[in-house]
Amino acid sequence: MLNTKNILSIDDLSTDDIDTILSNADFFLEVLDREVKKVPALRGKTIVSLFFEPSTRTRTSFEIAGKRLNADVVNFSPSMSSLKKGESIIDTVRTILSMKVDLLIVRHSDSGIPKFISERVNIPVINAGDGTHEHPTQALLDLYTIRKKFGSVEGLKVAIVGDILHSRVAKSNIKLFKKMKMEVILVAPSMLLPEKNYFDEKVKHSIDEVINKVDVLYMLRMQFERQQNRLYPSIREYNRFLSLDIERFRRLKPESIVMHPGPVNRGIEISGEVMDLIDKYPERIKIEEQVSHGLAVRMALIYLMLSLSSEDLDSTRS
């Protein structure tokens, strides 16, 4: 049902694949509003979640998505595995495969590990975030959130603000938004941009240059854990040029939306005052909605990667 075996990068997906995933997400979003939030689509399938670095949203979302599809989901913990005894990653994976699993979901702090694993196994692999490379399922849920708000996404202006250098989310989003013919503007100082702007996007250095012009303001998390040296002089300086505070929030176009992949560093990317407006302005601040949409999108993606025919989902609907 998809034209690719693995989801390692946005490059793996055609526009038809993207439309298929998001269209199926509509059905699964409806399932999540039912009293019984499960469907029997993947009964008998086994999914193993290999997370080699910390995660709350992505790991929990994949786990719940698999269970809502009635698959068996096993969370692998590196700290409790034979990796601590010196076993290699690939030998660990081969051991897991010998238990007849159907899908691997991999997150790792090193770029390229999901691809490395996918080249050595005969089952599908989903990249749940690798180093500073990509995070394709985050980009898909972000696109879905934007599409649910605006309908058509072509021609929308999106500003991606903050630590683009270290952000795998930014890299996947830029690729996906461009593929869907959206206009992307990067907002970051030179020290938080790749040495070469290989995306060839417009670059601004202050959020004030775009705040009243964009349809989507996408705030990135400042990734201090990936910086060998602190690249920005101070939080105060970051707030001056890159943070979303209440005054800037008021200058946004009335129909524009604010997004963030989470977790938010309150007082850095977004002020606490703006974060406290989520319940008041859910149609404008989409951070929590991204999480719920992520569950529907990941259900759709897992289903499509493990299903043999479109008739399977038709029987699920009935």
Active site residues: 57-58, 85, 107, 135
Is the separation of the CB atoms in 56 and 290 below 8 Å? no
The CB density around residue 213, as the number of other CB atoms within 10 Å, is: 14
Among candidates 25, 37, 51, which has minimal Cα distance to 126? 51
For residue 97, what are the CA distances in angstroms to 5, 46, 92, 238?
A: 17, 11, 9, 46
Give, as one character, the DSSP assignment of residue 221.
P
Among candidates 45, 43, 75, 52, which has minimal Cα distance to 62? 75
Query: 168-179 and 15-31 are packed helices; what angle lies between their axes, rounded to 10 degrees?
Result: 110
Q: Which two tokens stand for residue 119?
A: 């080249």
Q: How far apart are CA 150 and CA 27, in angstroms?
A: 18
